[in-house]
Amino acid sequence: MDRRDLMELRKVIKAKDTVIDWIYSIYVDPDNQIAYEGITRLLDLEDSERFRHLAIFAKILGTRIGISTFPEALKAQQESLLDLRSASGTDLYEFEAFRDHLLESYSHTDPYYATLVRVIYDVPAKAGDGRRLEDGDRVYEALLLAICPAKLSKATLGYDVDHVGELDRRWQIGNPSCGFLYPAFSDRGEDRSEVLIYSANPDTEEYLNGLFGIEEEASPVSARAQMNLFGEVLGKLDVSLEAAAEITGAIVDKAADEEGTDLIREDVRKIIEDAGVDTGSFDEVYEDTVGNTPLSITAVAQSQVLVKTDAVTIKVPADKAQLIETRTIDGRSYILIPADGTVTVSGIPVRTDTGNS
């Protein structure tokens, strides 16, 4: 499943509510007891509720693959989910096994709202030049799950029945922390050998991994964790400031051309070598630090070169990384950036020509 597939499916879910059939939902309290359980049709919801649910479903289909959205290959089809996909959506009994597994396997401290929906998308045909045609011969059917933690609203003053006082705090359902789409939507059709995992919080990965039998070493890793691993590799090598800036820029350029693809070991080696870094110990460092953990170009790419010292922080756009250099002056090391064009300090335009030669 690639970014193009995701964009198509995300677009029709947001714009055409008819692609969502039934909605099965539960609200679970902090004691892991069901406070609400129900089934409805999306079109039966009030407009405001329908649009808020569609926004939740669209987040599961995030198009920045490798950040919080991860296509994962499966060793076997998920027969129980394929059977559930055929549910009529009229009897809670049909969802009993899925609900019980969720309650047993999903760890939480706050209440949460889980909603499982059936997607039915009549995939339109496309001409050879990419033009969309009216009639197609494919119907894509899938299950989409979103699990949304609830948080207490902030304490605040407000008007209530002829007086101003502190309003009651309520549990508010937030953005999804995890979810999935199965089967995956690949090459504009279903792929039962792949699932799209959404994981905004590493703590939720255990439930999804267990549900789909994903091995720990192949399970999704958050974007922050991937960046930390990449930084740790560079930190164990002899990397100069200029080389680090060049590496950052090279990763950004590669991400622009190959968004969503894996960043394999040889890619990392070449980028580091091109920046002039000695890679004699690279294999040992990479194996000890990253191992088999998958890295995504999108996750590792940073739009800015962030230079930090004990006293200051300097931010430079990645495409201007080549402007950064170091120099020793009178025995002290300095970070230099050309002061070309207009220069401001706290919004104040300043002169940079001090008259010194």
- Contact indicator for 353, 341 with CB cutoff of 8 Å: no
Distance CA 100, CA 84 (A): 14
pLDDT value, residue 60 = 92
pTM, entire model = 0.73
Instruction: Look at residues 183, 209, 213, 159 and name the one whose alpha carbon lies nearest to residue 82.
Output: 183
pLDDT value, residue 104 = 92
Q: What is the dihedral of CA 283, 284, 285, 286, to 10 degrees?
A: 50
Reading the block at residue 2, the tokens are 């690639």
pLDDT value, residue 181 = 95
For residue 34, what are the β-bridge partners?
A: 28
Name residue 143's amino acid.
L
Tokens 């990965």 correspond to what residue? 205
Distance CA 167, CA 190 (A): 48
DSSP character at residue 142: E
Query: 10-residue block means of pLDDT along the chain (357 residues)?
Result: 85 80 94 94 89 91 77 87 91 93 90 95 72 69 95 87 85 92 91 89 75 67 77 88 85 72 83 89 88 78 80 81 83 84 82 65
Instruction: Look at residues 274, 275, 271, 279 and name the one whose alpha carbon lies nearest to residue 242.
Output: 275
3-state SS assignment for residue 37: strand
DSSP character at residue 62: -
Alpha carbon distances (Å) from 252 to 211, 256, 263, 279, 306 = 34, 6, 12, 21, 14
- Contact indicator for 298, 64 with CB cutoff of 8 Å: yes
Distance between alpha carbon 59 and the CA centroid of its chain, in Å?
9
Distance CA 294, CA 267 (A): 13
Reading the block at residue 146, the tokens are 């979103």
Alpha carbon distances (Å) from 265 to 36, 206, 224, 294, 296 = 48, 26, 18, 10, 11
Distance CA 133, CA 123 (A): 10
Question: Hey, how many other C-beta atoms are within 10 angstroms of the C-beta on 117?
Answer: 24
Q: What is the dihedral of CA 326, 329, 333, 334, to 10 degrees?
A: -50
Instruction: Look at residues 113, 115, 137 and name the one whose alpha carbon lies nearest to residue 125.
Output: 137
DSSP character at residue 222: -
What's the burial of 116, exposed, middle or buried (CB within 10 Å: 0-12/13-18/19+)? buried
Direct distance between the N- and C-terminal alpha carbons of the chain, in angstroms, rounded to an integer = 59
Per-domain residue ranges of the chain:
3-218, 223-323
Instruction: Look at residues 268, 303, 315, 305 and name the one whose alpha carbon lies nearest to residue 289.
Output: 268
- Contact indicator for 223, 33 with CB cutoff of 8 Å: no
Reading the block at residue 181, the tokens are 């789409």
